[in-house]
Amino acid sequence: MTTTATTLKGQPLDRNVLDSMLRRRMFYTPSFEIYGGVSGLYDYGPPGCALQANIVDIWRKHFILEEDMLEVDCSVLTPHEVLKTSGHVDKFADWMCKDPKNGEILRADHFVEDVLETRLRGDKEARGEKIEEKEEADAKKKKKKTKGQAAVKLDDDVVKEYESILAQIDNYNGEQLGDLIKKYDMRNAATGLQPSPPVSFNLMFQTSIGPSSNLAGYLRPETAQGQFLNFAKLLEFNTGSMPFASASVGKSYRNEISPRAGLLRVREFLMAEIEHFVDPEGNKKHHRFHEVEDIELALLDRHTQLSGLTTVKHVPIGKAVSEGIVDNETLGYFLARIHLFLKRIGVDQTKIRFRQHMANEMAHYAADCWDAELLTSYGWVECVGCADRSAYDLSVHSQKTGVPLIVRERLDEPKIIQEWEVDIEKKKFGPFFKKDGKTVEAAVLATTQEQREKFAKDLEANGKMVIDVPGVADGKVEVGQDLLKIEYRTRTENVREYTPNVIEPSFGIGRILYSLMEHNYWTRSSDGGDEARAVLSFPPSVAPTKVLIVPLSSNKDFAPFIRKLSQKLRTVGISSRIDDSSATIGKRYSRNDELGTPFGITIDFQTIKDGSVTLRERDSTRQVRAGEDEIVAAIKSLVDHSKSWADIESELPIFEGQELEIR
């Protein structure tokens, strides 16, 4: 949705200027650009790669190391049968529509969103209200595609309707989106025509595995399925102990209908996913929940959205769980941990919210689901999803393969169980039902205790029972008493068997990376005041390069000091770059402020005399001076966040001799 974007310092954010700078400094660039490029595909350059690697490194320490998670790296190529069982083949889709004149493919929800936002902007203009810079820029872009659409004032009730639709745009299915397009006569600005009714489009890239092409497969749309399929082995590796979590970082692929918004909607992207397996009994409590219960989150619950509003409530996560806003402690624990991770890497805390999924967004098996959304110049962007997937994934894969994906837990006291049990005569059952045997058997075994009691009476009275089996014959299947028995039995259990539930935090690393660049971008005036210089104020731990080494000139006497200092920084694991170009020191620092480099070391003639160097801090441009070892120790403490710049200024002598030049 339309938003007014600002820089880190509260200045209006010009996205075109930022994107131009990011591409010029090669944070990212369109893939295959000299061939014209392919929509939704991007390459990361050196600073983009380093930034991504640092984000992933912090993610691993924050989650995998801190939570003792088990990391796996699973295959990207996934057989059709796996994704058919998981539901992706049938349901992993978006709604698209087509322009009848020019054939343009439109993603239905984005089309509705764009049309309504354009009309609301036109209403503001007609009322003489101020249009924010970002809205104005978007409007200018859209006007190029339109045929001179005039600003039209809308009735107040219509404005409220449009705003209500936009507040719950993610809650509409294809039929409802089609109804909205017809009801509000939405037309493609390029042709003036209504698009065709929305149809479902599966987002997976299909392929064939092997030279015979007999094994159909897909490029995985998520990393999760590999983790589920390895559950039994991971449980054994974890010595059978519950709860535990697996984690995976890797590429996923989605054939987006109409990629837009740069790095925010792409067809190949890096994901970091966690599958936390938990016992469903005991209300999914978490043993470390008390550590985070006082952390306050900005929550946008489903009830607020359904009322047409987007107002967040700032609530401690402990209160949110106790009041039932968030379903359980484990889900709440991970929401708080996600919040802390995003804060740690430098996300602007005024531009984050957790939005609860509405009914049409959630899978039928999900107990609750929240997205961590970050505010950017494109609006609120989902960057992390956190879902309670119940026992769905392990259950369906177990049913399909016959492999038990369960936990066996020895009971402290034996448990007496009385229930209706089914015994199937395997030698007769399969030959009788032939190709439908497995389907009918699965339907029988899935029956409830109440159904089994009824079927037992039918077998005794009539010698047969009739069970509903969709897809077999007319949907009703007759089973004789010679094929199975249903009896009420008592048994003693010393071992409890259960299928774990799964809490799944899923991180889109590319989206987080782009949002982080917007959140840390700002501009400052040059000394002459006629040119704004871009700065990316990444936290030191995230910054692609930590230190810029700048010799005052090309004097050959500086070379030994440059080599020595660079080696000392490498020894303590600090990345650095050397800029010994002929540009002024101020310009060299300015170029590296664009790259987000937090610290700069100047080597000058004083260095030759006594070995001291100056250390410059990026955001304040203030400097201190000390010996090489003291400066390296200071940088290390700044990068690992054990000290702040204020601490360093209090410990080392302030240096002001080159302040104007370095600014």
Higher-pLDDT residue of 26, 135 = 26
Q: Residue 528: pLDDT above 70? A: no
DSSP one-letter string for 101-160: TT--EEEHHHHHHHHHHHHHHHHHHHTTPPPPHHHHHHHHHHHHHSS-PPP-PPPHHHHH
Residue 390 confidence (pLDDT): 93
Q: How many CA atoms lie within 13 A of 524 on its CB side?
A: 16
The CATH class of the 545-662 domain is alpha beta
Residue 366 confidence (pLDDT): 85
Mean pLDDT of 450-454: 95
Residue-wise pLDDT for 394-446, tens only, equals 999 999 999 999 999 998 899 899 999 999 998 999 899 988 998 999 899 99
Residue 657 confidence (pLDDT): 67
Confidence of residue 3 (pLDDT cuts 50, 70, 90): low
Confidence of residue 529 (pLDDT cuts 50, 70, 90): low
Residue 308 confidence (pLDDT): 87
CA distances (Å), 626 to each of 566, 620, 648, 652, 653, in order? 16, 18, 11, 7, 7
By DSSP bridging, strand 576-578 and strand 547-551 are parallel
Mean pLDDT of 637-651: 96
Residue 59: what residue type? W
Q: Residue 92: pLDDT above 50? A: yes
Residue-wise pLDDT for 308-317, tens only, equals 889 999 999 9
CA distances (Å), 641 to each of 517, 539, 540, 541, 547, in order? 20, 9, 8, 8, 15
Taking the C-alpha atoms of residue 459 and residue 482, their distance in angstroms, rounded to an integer, is 10
CATH topology of domain 15-87+204-393+502-508: BirA Bifunctional Protein; domain 2 (3.30.930)
Domain ranges of the chain: 15-87+204-393+502-508, 94-201, 413-498, 545-662
Q: Which residue has the tokens 């990361």?
A: 44
Q: Residue 302: pLDDT above 80? A: yes
Let me know the angle formed at the C-alpha of 332 by 86 and 238, rounded to the nearest 5 degrees. Answer: 60
By DSSP bridging, strand 244-253 and strand 70-71 are parallel
Mean pLDDT of 223-234: 97
Residue-wise pLDDT for 499-521, tens only, equals 999 999 999 999 999 999 999 99
Mean pLDDT of 78-101: 90
Q: What percent of the chain has pLDDT over 70?
A: 95
Q: In whole numbers, what is the pLDDT of the chain averaged over residues?
A: 91
What is the phi-psi region of residue 212: left when phi exceeds 0, alpha when psi lies from -120 to 50, beta otherwise?
alpha
Residue 147 confidence (pLDDT): 46
Taking the C-alpha atoms of residue 484 and residue 488, their distance in angstroms, rounded to an integer, is 14
Confidence of residue 5 (pLDDT cuts 50, 70, 90): confident
Residue 483: what residue type? L
Residue-wise pLDDT for 185-224, tens only, equals 999 988 999 999 999 888 899 999 988 878 999 999 999 9
Residue-wise pLDDT for 344-392, tens only, equals 999 999 999 999 998 878 877 788 999 999 999 999 999 999 999 999 9
CATH topology of domain 94-201: Herpes Virus-1 (3.30.40)
Task: Give the range among 141-150, 405-414, 553-562 with minimum mean pLDDT.
Answer: 141-150
Q: Residue 82: pLDDT above 90? A: yes
In this chain, the answer to whether the domains covering 94-201 and 413-498 adopt an identical fold is no
Q: Residue 591: pLDDT above 90? A: yes
Task: Return the closest-CA partner of residue 631 out of 644, 617, 613.
Answer: 613
Confidence of residue 134 (pLDDT cuts 50, 70, 90): very low
Residues 6 or more apart in contact with residue 213 via CB below 8 angstroms:
none
Residue 185 confidence (pLDDT): 92
Task: Return the closest-CA partner of residue 521 out of 58, 51, 1, 50.
Answer: 51
Q: What percent of the chain has pLDDT over 90?
A: 74
Higher-pLDDT residue of 60, 434 = 60
Cis amide linkage into residue 431, ω under 30° from 0: no
Backbone phi, psi, residue 461, to 5°: -80, -40
Mean pLDDT of 467-490: 91
Taking the C-alpha atoms of residue 189 and residue 116, their distance in angstroms, rounded to an integer, is 12
Pick among 3.90.550, 3.30.720, 2.60.40, 3.30.710: CATH of 413-498: 3.30.720
Mean pLDDT of 90-96: 86
Q: Residue 131: pLDDT above 80? A: no
Residue 129 confidence (pLDDT): 77
Residue 527 confidence (pLDDT): 60
Name the pTM for this structure: 0.83
The helices-and-strands tally (H runs, E runs) of the chain is 24, 29
Q: Residue 660: pLDDT above 50? A: no
Task: Give the range among 246-250, 471-475, 625-629, 650-654 with minimum mean pLDDT.
Answer: 471-475
